[in-house]
Structure formats: structure tokens, C-alpha cells
Amino acid sequence: MTRMLFALSLGFAGLIHATQTVQAEAVQPRTVQTPSGPACGLRARVLDRLAQRYGETRRGIGLAANNTVMEVFASADTGSWSITVTLPDGVTCLMASGQGFEAMTEELPAKGDPA
């Protein structure tokens, strides 16, 4: 459990760092894939591709650094998942993707209880 939380923390730290990096770059509103960077494009096009090609729907959303919106998409059928970040100008970038998505809901431990 502690290892999983640690791994998730590292993943989100990387996501925040990547979001700030994407913010610093000039991103054109078209689909782009560079060897060292994320694939970015118009939001409607990126979401359509996630839905049509991978069967993924939005499973979570949050506000990230610099007024960017972070979203998690996943497919219940295939277990594929994707994390996107949408910039204030409407450009959406695919930050990470993978397999084996599993929805979980965990309660926080009561205050004072050892984890």
C-alpha cells in the first residue's frame, strides 16, 4: 500500500513537471509527436481519438499547475488508460498512457491511526 502511494506520488510529481514544461513551450493547435515530448492537438481531436480508437472515457479530472486541466481517461473493456493535460488556450496534450487500469476508491485512515 505504501509503495503504491509512493509510486503514485512520483507519477503525479512527474505529471506536474511535464505540465510546466509543456506550458513553457510554444504549442501549435495541431497533433504533434516529438521524440522527447507529448502529443498535442485540438481538444476535440484528441478526445475523439481516445474514444474512437481506444474506447476510453473520462474517469477523473483535476486542476493542475498554471490553470491547466488534468484528466484521466480509461476503457473498462480493454483496461487501457491515458492522462491528458489541457492548456488554457484549448490545446490538449497526451502525457501518459498504459494498460491495466483499475478504478479504486480508498478511504483515508482515521487521524492518529498508523498507516
Instruction: Please count the structural domains in the chain.
Output: 1
Q: Is residue 89 part of a domain?
A: yes
Amino acid at 24: A
Q: What is the pLDDT of residue 30?
A: 42
Please tell me the predicted confidence (pLDDT) of residue 45: 93
Query: Residue 109: inside a domain, yes or no?
Result: no
> Left (φ > 0), alpha (ψ -120 to 50) or beta: where does 16 sit?
alpha
Answer for the pair 23, 65: CB distance below 8 angstroms, yes or no: yes
Instruction: Identify whether 25 is part of a domain.
Output: yes
* CA 39 from centroid of its chain's CA atoms: 12
Classify residue 37: in a domain, yes or no: yes
pLDDT at 109: 82
Angstrom CA distances, 56 to 5, 40, 80, 104, 109, stand at: 24, 17, 7, 17, 31
For residue 15, is it within any domain? yes
- What 3-state class would DSSP assign to 68? coil
Over its length of 115 residues, how does the chain's per-residue pLDDT go in tens digits?
455 544 445 455 555 555 555 444 434 344 444 455 678 999 999 999 999 999 999 999 999 988 999 999 999 999 999 999 999 999 999 999 999 999 888 888 888 756 5
Domain extent at residue 43: 2-98
The answer to whether position 103 is within a domain reads no
Write down the pLDDT at residue 23: 47
Tell me the three-class secondary structure of 1-66, residue by residue: CHHHHHHHHHHHHHHHHHHHHHHHCCCCCCCECCCCCCEEEEHHHHHHHHHHHHCCEEEEEEECHH
Q: Which three cell numbers stand for residue 86?
A: 489541457
